[in-house]
Every structure is written in structure tokens, then in C-alpha cells.
Amino acid sequence: MVSAAPPVITATPRVVALMPTWNAATFIEPVLESLAAQTYPNLQVLISDDASTDRTPEICGRFAAAQSWWRFTRHEVRRGWTGNVTALLQQAEGDYFFFAFHDDPVRPTYVSRLVEALTANPDAVLAFSDIELGAGTKAYLELERVHNRLERATRMIRKKGAWWIPNRGLFKASAGKRIGGVHRHLGGEYSADWPWLLHLALLGEFVRVPEPLVRKDWRKEGLSHSWRGTLRQKVGVSLSCMREVRSAGLPPTEEIAIHGEIVAHGLSALWPRAREES
């Protein structure tokens, strides 16, 4: 286990890693070690275990006990991924936050590089990096240098490319608090990070750091493998997107335009041939 000294409190922004865990004992230690190895000097790690039935609480508790800047809590009753993430967001206090997913290790410079990128752009609400995926590197380019809010929303709604990569980035705490969390919807937790990222894109720009600072390993235990893309799930997540747009406080003309994009995307997802025949 890699150990690190408590951070020195400086004028640098306070960053909080929000780590939701559940039954991750077989693969979580490399992620914990990667957080302990961060070079950034003002970082806190909050771990919230969602009633795991394996050794996850024991492993996380051991890491947290070794470092004064970590805090570990455990729920006795499962809240689900969205409930666990939202609970972490509500208790965190800082300038910047990021979701430290229990199966995605990060490089030692992950926090410092993303803080640099986010601090350098006052119009940005989120900074993210490329990721290591398998034997290669994957990047999300769709929102790069997109300054127009309506265009950012349109591109996020259409979900071209690896739209989920920014969810492994650093975001402003004020934006996260304003949104209030990652919300469960009519379809459960299916693609719940999509409405969350859409709302963030309405609040500000996304900045890409062109370095692979995160490693993503797709696992059969992962939440996304349980999603089947049923009608209920697709309708539920589209309605959730519309709810996020309504709560963003946009001018009526923009809100109507974005709702139209959501409806169009939803119809194309439900009936792919409709777009081909139009």
C-alpha cells in the first residue's frame, strides 16, 4: 500500500475526491493506491461504501486509517450508485470535486494537471483527460473549444463519441452543488451520468487535457453491464435530461430548443429507422 503525507494547506484550491464503493474488494486497491500517490498538495479523499458484502469496507478502512486526509463512511442499507454519489457530494466541502470510481486508477499527476486546466479557464466548469482503454488511448473531442452553451448541449444530447469520459474529470464544487447530485429517474440508474453531464455543459465549458491520466477497465461487475436499454430506461433518462434543462434557468427559447433536441434524440434511439427514412 502506498502511503502519503497529509496535504500541506496552501492557497491552492481544495480538491475533494468522491469515491463511491460497492463490492470492489478484488480490484479496488490499485485505485486507492493511485489516490494516495497524488502529487497535488491540497486533496481530501471521501470514501462512501454502499453496504458491501465483501472485504471492501475493510480495505477502504485500512487505507483511510493510514492517512489523516481520508475519511471513510459506510451505509448499512444500500442506496444504489446514484444515492451513494449524491450523498458524497452533499457532505463534501471544497473548491473542486471529482468522482473517484472504484475501478478507475489515476496517474499521480491527475489532480494537479486537471486543477491547472480548470483554473486557467474561468468559463469552464469541468476539466477532464484522455483515458487508457485496453492497449490504447481514448479521447472525447466533441466539446473541445465549444464556447456556445446551446451547441455544447446539442452535442452532449447527441452522445457522439465517448461522451462518458468527462464524468471522470474534475468539476467546480459550486456547479456540482447547484445540480444537487446524480439523480435516479423513471428508468432507474440507466445512463444517469448523461443528464448530469448535460447540466454541467449548460453551466460552463469543458476543458480537455490531452494526456491519458485515467485507466478504464471494463468489468463484468460494472453497473453499465446491467443496463439493457429498455423502453422504460430510455424514456426515463430522456425525461431526466429534460428535468435538468428546466432546472438550469435558461432563457425560454434555449430551453425549448434543447428540449426539441432531447425529443429528437429519444425518438431516434427508440426507432432508429425513423431517421433513416426521413
Q: What is the pLDDT of residue 217?
A: 81
Rounded to an integer, what is the distance from CA 61 to the centroid of its chain?
Answer: 23
What SS3 string covers 164-217? Answer: CHHHHCEEEHHHHHHHCCCCCECCECCCCHHHHHHHHHHHCEEEEEEEEEEEEC
If phi > 0 it is left, if psi is from -120 to 50 it is alpha, else beta; for residue 191 that is left
Q: What is the pLDDT of residue 228?
A: 64
CATH (one of 3.90.550.10, 3.40.1010.20, 3.40.140.10, 3.90.1150.10) for 15-227:
3.90.550.10
The residue ranges of every structural domain in the chain are 15-227
Q: What is the pLDDT of residue 270?
A: 72
- For residue 115, what is its C-alpha cell? 486543477
Q: What is the pLDDT of residue 46?
A: 98
Rounded distance between C-alpha atoms, residue 241 and residue 258, angstroms: 10
Of 66, 55, 62, nearest in space to 26 by CA: 55
Report mean pLDDT in 10-residue bins for the chain, 278 residues: 45 94 95 97 97 96 94 94 94 97 96 98 97 94 96 96 96 97 94 97 98 84 59 94 96 97 88 46
